[in-house]
């Protein structure tokens, strides 16, 4: 059935309707091993819905989803931890899969929150919590990573470092990543394929192709397009979590 062994998940003309209203329709995309596919689009354009269709969270969908992996790591857009449930970062890391302590420490170190390991999840700040969410998703060494605005609430320097990390993970684990991001720099530098959504796929292709697309310009404005097309210099350095610059 799977003619291409590298395919992790494939959406064929997929859509989802909630009480007679289409949240998104007609989406076709493929996430392959080692590739980063980014979904962009305005609020309410169906980015999260598309991610949830790919993950199999929504069941009664139009079209079809073919999924060729069960090793999935997911960073949802929003999680709220109820006070009634006492849970530390450490417990949260073990939530869906039992993993070695060393793998937990490694993942928490990579996202710069190892010092929070025994803290209560409810006591973390927004940015800290995002870092823990990313650490949890990568610690299980997934084949498919789905990241729904993974760096929301993270400070600017941390944001860049985390995106570098995501890129690195995609390379070292050779996992496929489905990313929802507003950060057009990230889209430009690391993404292999961009899908621009607005209730349906309005355009898709390589970042440069999308940036030149007229529908994209209409949706995001001329300025956003310029950011993408003029963003051509290569980084010769990376930023650590503390914001210091390291040469590549």
Partner 1 sequence: MFDDFFIRALVAGIGIAFVTGPLGCFVVWRRLSYFGDTLAHSALLGVTMAYTLDLNIAISVFLISSIIALLLIQLQKRTNLPGDALLGLLAHSSLAVGLVVIGFLTFIRFDIMGLLFGDILAVTTDDLLVIWTGGALILIVLKLIWKPLLASTVNYELAEAEGLNPDRAKAIFTILMAAVIAISIKMVGLLLITGMLIIPAAMARNISDSPQKMVLFSIIGGLLSVILGLYSSLEFNTSSGPSIIAAALILFILSLFKIKQSIKLKN
CA 195 – CA 187 distance, rounded (Å): 10
Q: How far is the CB of 217 from partner 1 (least distance, A)?
A: 33
Quote the least distance from Cβ 160 to partner 1, whole Å: 26
Q: Under rule CB under 8 A, which residues in 90-109 are in contact with partner 1?
A: 90-92, 95-97
Count of positions on this chain that bind partner 1 (CB under 8 A)? 25
Alpha-carbon distance values, 162 to 70, 71, 125, 222, 248 (Å): 25, 22, 16, 28, 16
Smallest distance from partner 1 to CB 100, Å: 16
Beta carbon of residue 92, minimum distance to partner 1 (angstroms, whole number): 7
The Cβ of residue 243 has, within 10 Å, a number of other Cβ atoms equal to: 12
Q: How far is the CB of 95 from partner 1 (least distance, A)?
A: 5
Residue-wise burial string across 146-157, b where 16 or more C-beta atoms lie within 10 A, e elsewhere: bbbbbbbebeee
Nearer to partner 1, 15 or 73 (CB): 73
**Footprint of partner 1 on 56-85 (CB under 8 A):** 56-57, 70, 72-74, 76, 79, 81-82, 84-85
Stretch that binds partner 1, among 51-59, 169-177, 199-207, 229-237 (CB under 8 A): 51-59
What token pair was written down for 32? 């392959």
To the nearest whole angstrom, how small is the minimum distance from the Cβ of residue 102 to partner 1? Answer: 20
Rounded Cα–Cα distance for residues 127 and 153 (Å): 5
Under the criterion CB under 8 A, does residue 52 sit at the interface with partner 1?
yes
For 111-176, give the DSSP string. TT-GGGTTSBGGGS-HHHHHHHHHHHHHHT--SEEEEESTTTT--HHHHHHHHHHHHHHHHHS--E
* CB of 53 closer than 8 Å to CB of 27: yes
Q: Of the candidates 11, 37, 55, 113, which one interacts with partner 1 according to CB under 8 A?
A: 55
Footprint of partner 1 (CB under 8 A): 52, 55-57, 70, 72-74, 76, 79, 81-82, 84-88, 90-92, 95-97, 120, 146
């Amino acid at each position: 059935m799977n003619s291409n062994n590298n395919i992790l998940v494939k959406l064929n003309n997929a859509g989802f309707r909630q009480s007679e209203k289409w949240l998104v329709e007609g989406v076709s995309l493929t996430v392959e091993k080692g590739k980063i596919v980014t979904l962009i689009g305005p609020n309410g354009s169906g980015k999260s819905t598309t991610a949830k269709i790919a993950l199999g969270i929504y069941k009664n969908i139009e079209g079809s989803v073919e999924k060729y992996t069960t090793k999935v790591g997911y960073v949802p857009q929003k999680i709220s931890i109820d006070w009634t449930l006492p849970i530390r970062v450490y417990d949260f890391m073990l939530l869906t899969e039992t993993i070695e302590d060393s793998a937990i420490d490694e993942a928490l170190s990579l996202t710069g929150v190892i010092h929070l390991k025994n803290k209560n999840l409810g006591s973390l700040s927004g940015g800290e919590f995002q870092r823990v969410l990313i650490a949890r998703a990568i610690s299980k060494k997934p084949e498919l990573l789905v990241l729904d605005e993974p760096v929301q609430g993270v400070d600017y320097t941390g944001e860049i470092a985390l995106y570098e990390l995501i890129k690195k993970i995609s390379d070292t684990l050779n996992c496929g990543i489905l990313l929802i991001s507003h950060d057009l720099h990230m889209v430009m530098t690391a993404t292999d394929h961009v899908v621009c959504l607005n209730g349906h796929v309005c355009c898709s292709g390589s970042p440069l192709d999308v940036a030149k697309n007229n529908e994209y310009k209409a949706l995001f404005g001329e300025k956003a397009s310029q950011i993408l097309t003029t963003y051509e210099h290569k980084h010769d350095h990376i930023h650590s979590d503390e914001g210091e610059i390291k040469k590549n």
